[in-house]
């Protein structure tokens, strides 16, 4: 009995040692772009589109685990592996588009944080964007990876608790929600929202980021036993973290459906500031403040991970790992965050900025996904850990679905 308890305690402690990289990635799909998509889904279609969060999360688990698999086995992130195993012209094209995707992502994250500052303190969007930019750069250039990881875990926890509070005080129809989570529904004019939810969950920069940060848990790449243990606990970390992301994204739709959806007069709420204000008479003053505070945390934390992703991708172009003291990593972060903030100064509609950023991610995503599948299926890259035939089929099916849906997004907007 004591030995069994001791084994369980040891397994729990081992899992906690590996916990972290997945949560950093989770931040990427609870970013302000997701908020806009989820609120539009819940306010316009009630509980009907919850299934898309479920499907997107299942696909994301496969893709993120596969990206982490690459990092664990090879000791290289997706960007480094592309530089090492692809022709120079091809890898430069792929990684250049990935950098642009990181900029688009960072723009949405900074913009979301700025909207939150405006909601909380009345700070103008453009000034707020510069404040978020400075704060994020300070966090990235002065904190070691471990401290950033812990900071992100705290932010994710606070965002989660915020939405648990929102859902708790809202009047949720749990019977309809249960059906919505598992039953696909394609209501009239819902396709743009369905596709935006997909694009907001499955994001290219997260695949690069996960393949890099998982290496913070590595000790001996030559030891098969260590690699096997890494893969085991990484999958648990990914599964645990993606389920948290699924719960938070679901909570956003639940909240929007319970407070905004009117079957006889369904109208999408397509502005984050408006959504926060509308919560006040429906749920009370506390709900509106908590909504804005959670949005601010999401904007800051996802901006940090977007900058890290940019640093990872840019370093990989030179076949070097993410290292905050290296000039490649620092330039990568700056080339991601500064152009993102500059674009915000040029746009007139914050919501349109969020929308266009998600559309660009959708355009780049298939490039990253097919590159990843090629690398992780190659015995030259992965050795005996290359994707099995069954996994290749599953990943290729996911890639085709993601590609077709994202192409469709360009035609239905």
pLDDT score, position 411 = 67
Total number of domains in the chain: 1
Q: Is residue 218 part of a domain?
A: yes
pTM: 0.81
The residues, ordered by sequence, that sit 6+ positions from 364 with a Cβ below 8 Å of its Cβ are 97, 98, 100, 101, 204
Looking at residue 389, what is its pLDDT? 94
In the block, tokens 């809202």 appear at: 170
Asked whether residue 264 is assigned to any structural domain, the reply reads no
Domain assignment of residue 365, given as a range: 2-257+269-412
Inside any domain, residue 263: no
The pLDDT score that the predictor gives to residue 216 is 56
Q: Is residue 130 part of a domain?
A: yes
pLDDT of residue 220: 46
For residue 310, tell me if it sits in a domain: yes
pLDDT for the residue 13: 44
For residue 344, being part of any structural domain is answered with: yes
Determine, yes or no, domain membership for 341. Answer: yes
How much is the pLDDT for 62?
92
The pLDDT, as a whole number, for residue 160 is: 74
| Residue-wise burial string across 292-313, b where 16 or more C-beta atoms lie within 10 A, e elsewhere | bbbbbbbbbbbbbbbbbbbbbb
Structural domain contains residue 62:
yes
- 10-residue mean pLDDT profile of the chain (413 residues): values are 46 47 61 79 90 90 90 89 93 93 90 90 93 92 66 71 78 91 83 76 83 63 66 76 86 87 68 71 74 84 89 91 90 96 84 68 84 95 92 93 73 60
CA–CA dist 314, 335 (Å, integer): 9
CA–CA distance, 222 with 228 (Å, rounded to integer): 11
CA gap 322, 148 in Å, rounded: 14
Cα-based torsion angle of the residue sequence 112, 294, 242, 384 in order, rounded to the nearest 10 degrees: 60
* Confidence at residue 98, expressed as pLDDT on a 0 to 100 scale: 93
* CATH code, domain with 212: 1.20.1740.10
């Amino acid at each position: 009995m004591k030995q069994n308890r001791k084994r369980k305690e040891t397994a729990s402690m081992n899992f906690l040692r590996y916990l972290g990289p997945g949560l950093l990635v989770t931040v990427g799909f609870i970013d302000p772009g997701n908020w806009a998509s989820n609120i539009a889904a819940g306010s316009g279609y009630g509980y009907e589109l919850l299934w898309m969060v479920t499907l997107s999360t299942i696909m994301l688990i496969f893709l993120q685990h596969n990206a982490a698999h690459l990092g664990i086995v090879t000791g290289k992130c997706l960007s480094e592996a592309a530089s090492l195993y692809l022709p120079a012209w091809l890898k430069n094209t792929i990684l250049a588009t990935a950098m642009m995707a990181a900029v688009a992502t960072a723009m949405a994250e900074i913009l979301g944080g700025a909207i939150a500052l405006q909601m909380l303190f009345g700070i103008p969007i453009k000034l707020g964007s510069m404040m978020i930019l400075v704060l994020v750069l300070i966090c990235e250039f002065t904190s070691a990876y471990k401290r950033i990881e812990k900071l992100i875990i705290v932010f994710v926890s606070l965002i989660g608790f915020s939405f648990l509070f929102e859902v708790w005080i809202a009047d949720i129809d749990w019977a309809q929600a249960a059906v919505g989570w598992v039953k696909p529904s394609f209501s009239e004019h819902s396709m743009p929202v369905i596709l935006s939810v997909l694009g907001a969950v499955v994001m290219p920069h997260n695949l690069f980021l996960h393949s890099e940060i998982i290496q913070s848990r590595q000790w001996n790449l030559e030891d098969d036993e260590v690699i096997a243990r890494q893969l085991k606990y990484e999958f648990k970390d990914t599964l645990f973290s993606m389920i948290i992301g699924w719960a938070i994204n679901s909570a956003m739709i639940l909240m929007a459906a319970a407070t905004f959806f009117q079957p006889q007069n369904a109208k999408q709420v397509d502005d984050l500031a408006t959504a926060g204000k509308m919560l006040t008479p429906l749920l009370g003053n506390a709900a509106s403040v908590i909504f804005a505070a959670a949005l601010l945390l999401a904007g800051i934390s996802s901006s940090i991970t977007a900058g890290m992703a940019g640093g990872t991708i840019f370093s990989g172009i030179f076949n070097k790992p993410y290292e905050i003291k290296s000039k490649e990593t620092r330039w990568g972060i700056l080339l991601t965050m500064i152009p993102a903030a500059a674009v915000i100064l040029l746009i007139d509609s914050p919501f349109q900025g969020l929308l266009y950023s998600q559309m660009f991610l959708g355009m780049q995503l298939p490039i990253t996904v097919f590159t990843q599948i090629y690398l992780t299926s190659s015995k030259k890259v992965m050795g005996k850990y290359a994707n099995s035939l069954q996994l290749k089929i599953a990943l290729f099916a996911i890639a085709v679905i993601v590609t077709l849906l994202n192409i469709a997004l360009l035609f239905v907007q």
